[in-house]
C-alpha cells in the first residue's frame, strides 16, 4: 500500500510519516519511507528513497539562487527522473506492507510541478492523505475550501484523496464543533445559505455540489503527536486497497 502525505508547510507531513510508520511497525508491518522534500534538513525516520541524494535546496542556494528559486530548480532537476523514482517506489511496494511518502514542505512544489504528477501517475493506486491544520478553519467558507481542495488534489494527481484534519490534540474541546461542519455538508450548506455576501453565495453553491461528488470519501481526524486516528487511517488505507478506491 502506498500512502502519500500532502499538506501545507508545517501541517505535520514529516511527523505523521514517522509516527504512523512506527505505529504500523509496532502492529507487525514492515514499512518503507520515502522523502521527496529537497529542502528538509533532518528527518525523524530513515528513508529508503531520498531525493536529497540527487539534489538539495541548500546546494542550489550556495550556487546563488534564492530559497524559492532553489526549490523550483530542485524539482526541475528531479523531473526527468520521476519515472525512475516511481519504479523504485513500486519495487518497495512489492517488498514492504506499506510505503509512506513524505512530500515537499511547500505543497505547490509537488502539486503544481510536473515532478509530482509524473511520479504519481506511475504508481499503482496511491492513496493521498491531504493534511490540513485547524488554524485554517477560521470561518465557514474555510470548511468548504478544504473539502474542495481535496478534490482538486484528486483531480491534479489522479489519485483518491482523503482530507485529514491533523493536530486534533490542540483542539480537544472544539473537535465536535469542527466535525459538525466538516462531516455534515448539508448542515454546512444550510449555514452558508444565511450568509448574504458574494463569498457566502459562492461557498453555498460549491458546498451544495459537494455531496454529488464526495459522499463516498470519509474525513480523518488525526494527531501525528498523540497517535489519535491512526487506526482509522490504517482502516481507510486497507479499504482503499481492497476495494480499489471505494471508501464508502
Ligand atoms: P514542512 O515539511 O517543514 O513544511 O512541515 P511538515 O508538514 O512536514 O510538518 P512537520 O511534521 O515538520 O511538523 C511541523 C510542526 O508541527 C512541528 O513542530 C511538529 O511537532 C508539529 N506537529 C505535527 N503534527 C502535529 C500534531 O498532530 N499535533 C501537534 N500539536 N503538533 C504537530
Tens digits of residue pLDDT in 109-156? 899 999 999 999 999 989 999 999 999 998 888 999 999 999 999 999
- pLDDT, tens only, 144-185: 999 999 999 999 999 999 999 999 999 988 999 999 999 888
Contacts of 49 (CB under 8 A, 6+ apart): 32, 34, 35, 85, 88, 89, 92
Q: Note whether residue 232 is domain-resident.
A: yes
The reply to whether the predicted model has a pTM over 0.80 is yes
From the CB of 224, is ligand 1 less than 6 Å away? yes
Residue 82 lies in a domain: yes
* Ligand 1 pocket: which of 224, 226, 229 to mutate (most atoms within 8 A of CB): 224
Question: Nine-digit cell at 49?
Answer: 528513497
Q: Are the beta carbons of 224 and 16 closer than 8 angstroms?
A: yes
Look up the ipTM and state it: 0.98
Nearest CA to ligand 1 atom 24: 12
Whether 40 is covered by a domain: the verdict is yes
Largest Cα–Cα distance of the chain, in whole Å? 55
Domain harbouring 68, CATH code: 3.40.50.300
Measured from the Cβ of residue 68, the count of other Cβ atoms closer than 10 Å reads: 11
Cα 213 to ligand 1 centroid, rounded to whole Å: 30
Cα 68 from chain centre: 21
Residue 78 in any domain: the answer is yes
Residues paired with residue 120 on neighbouring β-strands, in sequence order: none
Is residue 248 in some structural domain? no
Domain holding 223, by residue range, is 2-183+218-242
CA of 180 to the centre of ligand 1 (A): 25
* C-alpha to C-alpha distance for 102 and 20, rounded to whole angstroms: 12
How many angstroms separate the CA atoms of 179 and 176, rounded? 5
- With respect to residue 194, please indicate whether it lies within any of the assigned structural domains: no
Ligand 1 site, residue 109, Cβ cutoff 6 A: no
Q: Is the CB of 14 under 6 A from ligand 1?
A: yes
Question: How many structural domains is the chain composed of?
Answer: 1
Amino acid at each position: 500500500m502506498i500512502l502519500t502525505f500532502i499538506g501545507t508547510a508545517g501541517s505535520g507531513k514529516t511527523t505523521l510519516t514517522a509516527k504512523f510508520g512506527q505505529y504500523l511497525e509496532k502492529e507487525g508491518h514492515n514499512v518503507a519511507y520515502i522523502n521527496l522534500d529537497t529542502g528538509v534538513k533532518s528527518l525523524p525516520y530513515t528513508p529508503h528513497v531520498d531525493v536529497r541524494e540527487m539534489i538539495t535546496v541548500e546546494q542550489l542556494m550556495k550556487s546563488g539562487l534564492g530559497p524559492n528559486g532553489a526549490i523550483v530548480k530542485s524539482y526541475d532537476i528531479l523531473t526527468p527522473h520521476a519515472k525512475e523514482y516511481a519504479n523504485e517506489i513500486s519495487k518497495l511496494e512489492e517488498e514492504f506492507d506499506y510505503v509512506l511518502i513524505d512530500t515537499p514542505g511547500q505543497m505547490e512544489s509537488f502539486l503544481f510541478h510536473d515532478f509530482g504528477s509524473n511520479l504519481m501517475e506511475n504508481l499503482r493506486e496511491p492513496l493521498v492523505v491531504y493534511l490540513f491544520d485547524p488554524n485554517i478553519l477560521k470561518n465557514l467558507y474555510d470548511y468548504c475550501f478544504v473539502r474542495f481542495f481535496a478534490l482538486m488534489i484528486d483531480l491534479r494527481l489522479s489519485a483518491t484523496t482523503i482530507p485529514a484534519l491533523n493536530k486534533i490534540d490542540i483542539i480537544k474541546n472544539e473537535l465536535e464543533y469542527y466535525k459538525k461542519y466538516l462531516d455534515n455538508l448539508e448542515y454546512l450548506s444550510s449555514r452558508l445559505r444565511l450568509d448574504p455576501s458574494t463569498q457566502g453565495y459562492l461557498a453555498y453553491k460549491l458546498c451544495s455540489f459537494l455531496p454529488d461528488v464526495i459522499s463516498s470519501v470519509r474525513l480523518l481526524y488525526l494527531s501525528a503527536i498523540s497517535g489519535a486516528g491512526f487506526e482509522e487511517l490504517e482502516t481507510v488505507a486497507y479499504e482503499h486497497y481492497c476495494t480499489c478506491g471505494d471508501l464508502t
